[in-house]
Structure 1
Amino acid sequence: MYKLPKFTTENQDEILDFMQKNPFVTLVGFDGEFPVATQVPVETRLYGNTIKIIGHIMTNTDHCKAFEQNPNALVIFTGAHAYISASVYEEPAAASTWNYKTVQAKGLMRFLSAEETLQVVKDLTDQYENPHTSPAAFKKMDDEYIQKHLKAIKGFEILVSKFDHVFKLSQNHSIKNQESIIANLEQTDDVLAQQVAEEMRRNLSKASF
């Protein structure tokens, strides 16, 4: 990771919050020859001081087979990102850059039983579909339909043993430069750039205390 002290935080709750707010991750494994990767939605849960990442993947895939051989997993969480033009700096004859936030979590994957996998799917569905009002609620699905599709997936649980992060928001620049960057990003039609501007403004507010 491109990690410098200015681009990190000591606040573990902030890191966990970022992981929980960015649940569509890149799940990386190793099949013995090449890395394998899949984009999947997950839940990040805290049990005391233990972090677990929970989700499911298709059974008949190279990815699933890779984890059956090697349970070591890397999970990459990413948020909004944006190109930062040096043209708005106090001294613009400098290198432009990119701002972004990311967390990388490592740990051992454990495949879940059919009953546990069913619970994972239910929990994930209930998180995004109102279980009481949505016509796509989990409880509205036919049991035969659920059991048929359950055979094609495996639930997993990753016990996080290590995680690292980069929250790069131009903290290595002057306040004036940061304010100019924010103003420039807010003027664009790029939703991600606007989100980065919001993150930067929030970060500046915290730094001022």
Structure 2
Amino acid sequence: MYIPKYFKVNNVDEIIDFVQKNSFGTIVTTELGKPIATHLPLQLIKEEDTYYITGHMSYGNPQWRTFDHDEDVLVMFQGPHAYISSSWYEKENVPTWNYQAVHIYGIPSILDEEELQQDLTMLLQKYENHRKNPVLWENLSLQTKKQLKGIVGFKIKVQEIQAANKLSQNRNEEDYYNIVNKLYEEKDINSQQMAQLMKRKFKQDK
């Protein structure tokens, strides 16, 4: 991913937090030279000093078979994004698009049944544990658990991380705050989220 110096993120803790909060990712591999992709809920876990991306997909999805011969796979995570009008700048310039994105490259492998159960247990805890009637692995019926045969679990050993926060950091303070205010005036949810993010980031960096 091309990342201008203004927008490059190097803080590992910040990147991990971003992935945990924006964990619906896209896995990209190739089959006979053709890129293929699947959109999935994923987890970022740490084992000793190594990070892994874990998840599962349908057995009927042919992409998991590419894990056998792909040395590297690409996993992409995206946060809020929004169009930035050049009319919001003090001086004439070109419009652009603000966004957050993380690209992770790694080596994939298939989980055995026990590893898959452990991963599903953690996944359900993450998304269900705070609910009034949580659907946790230990509460599932044997019949439901048998559906494991219909999915394939995997983990991707992280080799390289690229992260970008393109949040108008290259603009002066007056332009920056005007962009935030204009984004709040937009009707779409992405613009609203971008305004909140930029406002929060500005306060953190001060």
Q: Which residue of 2 aligns with 1:16?
A: 16
Separation in structure 1 between the aligned mates of residue 113 and residue 135 of structure 2, nearest angstrom: 22
Separation in structure 1 between the aligned mates of residue 76 and residue 87 of structure 2, nearest angstrom: 31
Q: What is the CA-CA distance between 1:129 and the residue it aligns to? A: 1.3
Q: In the TM superposition, what whole-angstrom CA distance separates every residue of 1:15-34 from its partner, at most 9, and x where no partner exists?
A: 11111111100011111221
- Would you say 1:141 and 2:140 are equivalent positions? yes
Q: Which residue of 2 aligns with 1:31?
A: 31
- 1:159-178 → structure 2 map (5 Å cutoff): 159-178=157-176
- The answer to whether the Cα contact below 8 Å between 1:31 and 1:67 also exists between their aligned partners in 2 is no
- The answer to whether the Cα contact below 8 Å between 1:52 and 1:157 also exists between their aligned partners in 2 is yes
Q: Which residue of 1 aligns with 2:117?
A: 118
- 1:15-164 → structure 2 map (5 Å cutoff): 15-91=15-91, 93-130=92-129, 133-134=132-133, 136-147=135-146, 149-164=147-162
Q: Which amino acid aligns with 2:112?
A: S
Q: In the TM superposition, what whole-angstrom CA distance separates every residue of 1:107-160 from its partner, at most 9, and x where no partner exists?
A: 10110101111221222122111388426333332112211x111111111110
Identify if the C-alpha distance between structure 1 residues 48 and 186 changes in structure 2 by more than 3 Å, giving closer, same or farther.
Answer: farther
Q: Which residue of 2 aligns with 1:186?
A: 184
TM-score, structure 2 as length reference: 0.93
Q: Which amino acid aligns with 2:18?
A: F
Secondary structure class of the residue paired with 1:102 = strand
Ranges in structure 2 where 5+ consecutive residues have no aligned partner: none
Q: Which amino acid aligns with 1:169?
A: L
Q: Which amino acid aligns with 1:119?
A: Q
Separation in structure 2 between the aligned mates of residue 142 and residue 25 of structure 1, nearest angstrom: 29
Separation in structure 2 between the aligned mates of residue 168 and residue 94 of structure 1, nearest angstrom: 17
Q: Which amino acid aligns with 1:61?
A: N
Separation in structure 2 between the aligned mates of residue 71 and residue 20 of structure 1, nearest angstrom: 25
- The answer to whether the Cα contact below 8 Å between 2:68 and 2:109 also exists between their aligned partners in 1 is no
- Would you say 1:207 and 2:197 are equivalent positions? no
Q: In the TM superposition, what whole-angstrom CA distance separates every residue of 1:157-207 from its partner, at most 9, and x where no partner exists?
A: 111010101110001111111100000011222222111112211222233
Identity of aligned residues (%): 34
Separation in structure 1 between the aligned mates of residue 80 and residue 130 of structure 2, nearest angstrom: 29
Structure 1 segments (4+ residues) deviating >6 Å = none
Separation in structure 1 between the aligned mates of residue 64 and residue 129 of structure 2, nearest angstrom: 30
Q: How many pairs are equivalent?
A: 206
- The answer to whether the Cα contact below 8 Å between 1:131 and 1:137 also exists between their aligned partners in 2 is no
